[in-house]
Amino acid sequence: MKILVTGGLGYIGSHTVVELQAAGLEVVIVDNLSNSHIEVLNKIEKISGIRPSFSKLDLADRDSCSNFFKGEKAISGIIHFAAYKAVGESVKEPLKYYHNNLDSLINVLENMKTYHIPNLVFSSSCTVYGQPDKLPVTEQAPRKPALSPYGNTKQMAEDIIRDTVYASAIKSIALRYFNPVGAHYSALIGELPLGVPNNLLPFITQTASGIREQLSVFGSDYNTPDGTAIRDYIHVVDLAKAHVVAVKRMLNDKSKSNYEIFNIGTGNGYSVLEVIKSFEKVSKLKLNYKIVGRREGDIEKVWADTSFANKELGWKAQKTLDEMTLSAWRFQQQLSKNMK
Ligand code: UFG
């Protein structure tokens, strides 16, 4: 069975490729390398012993996309990661986000129809819930108006997929990720943010390794036990495994409906200070941080109700917060070593 992974050299994509290979599936990667590195292909091969086929390709370009599908036969399913994901950048350059994230999806769906490729796993996000009224948040919770063009592309993409599934033979599973963190245990692949990281874990590990001087903790006056914001952090390898389960569910015709949505988190919420404490414990370092004002657009707290994914997919996140922070730290140490 051949699975096409778009954005397969990116952070979540590369971990998913490794898990697909471990499950005996053949992987074809397309990636435009806009936020990823070609060396990741070697790292994947080093981990799994198998070099996946790779094409550098901009899926948002209609002609390049259809040429690719014309030449690539017998794809059983697609996992579509390829998208821009920086919330702040999307506010400044909305058209870049709408063009890339939506045109690439539409082009992929058109080719799925043309070449009768039946199965699509889509990377969605808990960002579609905004600040939920009830926690933990279930898949039935209403989606709130998006706070950024990035978030809007995830909502619109879900709708585009739902409508296309309704009108075609395509089946899809949308996975709404909570906060993916950590790295592969080999420390060969992990999150490689370009420039100054926006996300908490890369900022913590870069501060600890001396690349950044100090971590700013955004807000300590939230309505949470320690005043800092709460998220459901999930180890990227647990998240990658959810994709394998989802794609197999469709390949084995086990879907209960043609379009399914699952929350992919751990079900546990941790505050920013709890993440810092975990990092300090596993690294045996003291982190230089200071508490500053809230970051615009941040929600106060969110964590997943994962019971639907646990029951229906037979999947459950396994890794603890300490395993997440330790693996992120080991990956950063490896990167720092390679820079020397
Ligand atoms: N934080 C800090 N300091 C930092 C970075 C983050 O205190 O330097 C805090 C944030 O304020 C937030 C928490 O750490 O409370 C997590 O922040 P991240 O930026 O790591 O993650 P977000 O929850 O803001 O964003 C993530 C994804 C987005 C997605 C969003 C909602 O990165 O792509 O979840 O799904 F849109």
This prediction has a pTM of 0.98
How far is residue 101's CA from residue 106's CA, in Å, rounded to a whole number? 9
Assess whether the previous peptide bond of 118 is cis (omega < 30° from 0). no
How far apart, in whole angstroms, are the C-alpha atoms of residue 118 and residue 170?
5
Nearest CA to ligand 1 atom 34: 179
Please say whether the beta carbons of 44 and 14 come within 8 A: yes
At residue 118, the pLDDT reads 97
Measured distance CA(257)–CA(260) in Å, rounded: 6
Domains, the chain: 2-181+235-264 (3.40.50.720), 200-231+267-304+319-339 (3.90.25.10)
Q: What does the block give as tokens for 68?
A: 């690719």
User: Mean pLDDT, consecutive 10-residue segments, the chain of 340 residues?
Assistant: 98 98 98 96 98 98 98 96 95 97 98 98 97 97 94 98 98 98 98 90 97 98 98 98 98 98 98 98 98 94 98 98 98 89
H or E element that contains 181: strand 179-181
Residue 20 parent element (H or E): helix 11-22
C-alpha 197 to ligand 1 mean position (Å): 10
Using most ligand atoms within 8 A of CB, pick from 81, 97, 196, 200 the residue to mutate for ligand 1.
200
Is-contact 215 260, C-beta < 8 A?
no
Q: What is the pLDDT of residue 193?
A: 80
What is the dihedral angle through the alpha carbons of 203, 154, 2, 238, rounded to the nearest 10 degrees?
Answer: 40
Per-residue pLDDT at 339: 79
Beta bridge partners of 77: 3, 119
67 three-class SS: helix
Length of the chain: 340
Residue reference for tokens 């992120």:
328
Nearest to 178 by CA among 131, 239, 133, 122: 239
Which residues form ligand 1's pocket by a CB distance below 6 Å?
85, 87, 125-127, 151, 179, 198-200, 203, 215-218, 229, 231, 272, 295, 298
Residue type, 121: V
CA–CA gap between residue 154 and residue 93 (Å, rounded): 16
150 catalytic? Reply is yes
3-state secondary structure of 237: helix
Which two tokens mark 19? 């898990």
